Amino acid sequence: MPHDLDLALKICQGLRPELVEVPKIFDAKNVQKKYEDTEAEYIELMKKCWDSNPDKRPKAEKLYENFRKWFGIIPNTSIPENETFIENHPSSCYTSRKIDYAEKLKEILDQEENLESCRIF
């Protein structure tokens, strides 16, 4: 998907991606169970990292502790190859670049000023 100003604004307002179910990728049931348990902990940590209040996000030390713990839980098992299912949008940019939102921001602020002068009788 190309860069989308409305999407960027929605993310700033708290929009987060929908999370999907854990895929069944390991043949051994005990390995799959460890993977699912770790994945559930990971999701909770990820949600904390998404908190709109930076003070509520986990510190780097906490992230390090979790990653270190998880590294030892999942054995060095090869994961089956997946077919590529993500298509790159031809007009997307895959390198960092500045996106200028000044014009859209001015438009939004102008709309808010106009709304303030409206009165409903």
What is the per-residue pLDDT across 14-65, written as a single tens digit (0 to 9) for each? 888 777 666 666 666 766 676 677 777 888 888 898 888 889 999 999 999 9
**Residue recorded with tokens 């270190």:** 68
In the predicted structure, residue 3 carries a pLDDT above the cut 80: no
More confident of the two residues 2 and 57 = 57
Q: Could you tell me where the beta strands, DSSP code E, fall in the chain?
A: none
Q: Count of CB atoms within 10 A of residue 26's CB?
A: 19
H-helix segments, 13-90? 29-49, 60-73
The reported pLDDT for the residue numbered 94 is 64
pTM, two decimal places: 0.46
DSSP percent split of the chain into helix, strand, coil, nearest 5:
50, 0, 50
Q: Are 45 and 63 in contact (CB under 8 A)?
A: yes
Average pLDDT over residues 1-24: 73
